[in-house]
Amino acid sequence: MTYCVAIRVDAGLVLAADTRTSAAFDDIRTHTKLSTFEYPGERVFALLSAGNLGTTQNVLARIARDADTPGATASLRSAADLFEAADYLGRALVEAQQKANGAAADGVNLEATLIFAGQIGTGATGLFLVYPQGNWIAASPETPFLQSGELKYGKPILDRILRPETSLEDAARCALVSMDAAIRSNLSVGPPIDLALIRDGDLRLSHRLRLGQDSPFYVEFRETWSTELAAAVRGLPPFEWEAPRAPPAP
């Protein structure tokens, strides 16, 4: 019950996630799925989580503990590069699932998936999808985004618009359109939406927003997108049997 999307463009990183964890008729619950780890001037990371909430909370607790432990054998704070950091997260995820499996009842799905993004020093930004098995893949210039959860509804806008040269703000708008599509089409995805931007070179969280169903910006955003989308459909070429359309009023 989630949708997470992260985008990497030349200008930086965008991460967005819904907050719904259950959607029964009389029991709608929310929990943040976007976590950030900042060491200003040194490194910055963001994590999106989908899957078993207990597993992801175990991973987040370990990340915080390792980062604050001097001499820890591995941590986000000590990783030499993003690939080493992704390996560390993969191991932490596998161990959290194994630990939970020993105490869980049969039939409980303990798996989780992570989307990991960040930047270390003068290195390039990076974006990774960490699977429950601990292995990972990185976003590429050809596909500069990664998704988890109910991803099918929000994918078309990402495929059509995103390129490495897309501005960070336009990438953020694409992420919100993608989120809105998933929310409209699937009850298990719901607001508030958490949105974070990391501008290349900032080495900190550049912007973070939480957008509720009635947030003025989100209301205007949804209404504008719906209006413009309807106008775009009406502006498509007419079929040969249709009468010529009158030009729009000035």
Question: Average pLDDT for residues 74-81, to the nearest whole number?
Answer: 95
Please state, for a pLDDT cut of 70, what percent of the chain lies above it.
92
Question: Average pLDDT for residues 196-215, to the nearest whole number?
Answer: 96
78, 40, 19, 74 alpha-carbon torsion, rounded to 10°: 0
Closest of 97, 62, 91, 58 to residue 77, by C-alpha? 62
Please tell me the CATH code under which domain 3-233 is placed: 3.60.20.10
Question: What is the full DSSP assignment across 154-165?
Answer: THHHHHHH--TT
Cα 214 to its chain centre, rounded Å, is 21
Q: Where are the domains of the chain?
A: 3-233
- Tell whether the model's pLDDT for residue 31 goes beyond 90: no
**Which tens digit of pLDDT belongs to each residue from 62-73?**
999 999 998 888
pLDDT for 244 equals 73
pLDDT for 25 equals 44
Q: Do the beta carbons of residue 114 and residue 57 sit within 8 Å?
A: no
| CA separation for the pair 76, 126 (Å, rounded) | 14
**Which tens digit of pLDDT belongs to each residue from 146-198?**
999 999 999 999 999 999 999 999 999 999 999 999 999 998 899 999 999 99
